Amino acid sequence: MLEFLRHLFRDKPARSPDIPSQERVHTGTDPLQPPSGATAPGTSIHYDPALIQRLLEDHRHIESLFADMVTTAQQRNAAHLQQVLDGFTTALRGHLLTENVRLYVYLQHTLGGDPENAALIQGFRQEMQQIGRVLADFLLRHREREVWDEDGWSRFAGDLAQLAPVLKKRIETEETILYPLYLPPQS
């Protein structure tokens, strides 16, 4: 089972949603610092042409760390697993923060005049908060584990098996439905 999970997230090529290429240029800017340019109506949140590319890169990194967790669980290397869990926690928190602050608020304001898209964005945000809570519980449960006996490894493998399809589906949905909605505000 763990071998299947490892291949689920290993060596996945970056997919780009249907966004013009000039909008996927990584500028290396701080994801929480507003770039110059247009803002979402009613906010001071600027459109960032590099945001979607950074979020896609985050996804590849999160998937890689998840695959590393699976591999480390197969090897039963508790010390390395702690490092991977810490890295996964940091990457996931940073990604969720960027999405919440830079993506969802921007989209809610730029698409606020379209009730259908506004409802879609709100649904995405609520779903991500639920998934974030599940992942936070998983990380808390296993990052605090002091003894890694057979039962602990078995529970960890079971948790990974439950999380893998949820994480994979969420990433695919964001990349194919949500991210293409991120466009400069219309003047």
Q: What is the CATH number of the domain that holds 56?
A: 1.20.120
Using 50, 70 and 90 to split pLDDT, how confident is the model at 186?
confident
Q: For 3-37, how does the pLDDT look when each residue is reduced to its tens digit (9 = 90+)?
A: 544 444 554 544 444 443 333 333 344 544 444 45
Three-state DSSP string of 18-57: CCCHHHHCCCCCCCCCCCCCCECCCCCCECCCCHHHHHHH
Question: Is residue 186 included in any domain, yes or no?
Answer: no
Question: Is residue 29 included in any domain, yes or no?
Answer: no
In the predicted model, is pLDDT for residue 174 greater than 90? yes
- The reported pLDDT for the residue numbered 18 is 45
Residue 128, domain extent: 2-10+48-181
Question: Is residue 112 included in any domain, yes or no?
Answer: yes
- The count of structural domains within the chain is 1
Better-predicted residue by pLDDT, 115 or 7: 115
Q: For 62-73, how does the pLDDT look when each residue is reduced to its tens digit (9 = 90+)?
A: 999 999 999 999
pTM: 0.77
Q: For 91-112, how does the pLDDT look when each residue is reduced to its tens digit (9 = 90+)?
A: 999 999 999 889 998 998 888 7
Tell me how far apart the terminal alpha carbons of the chain are, to the nearest angstrom. 52
Question: Is residue 105 included in any domain, yes or no?
Answer: yes
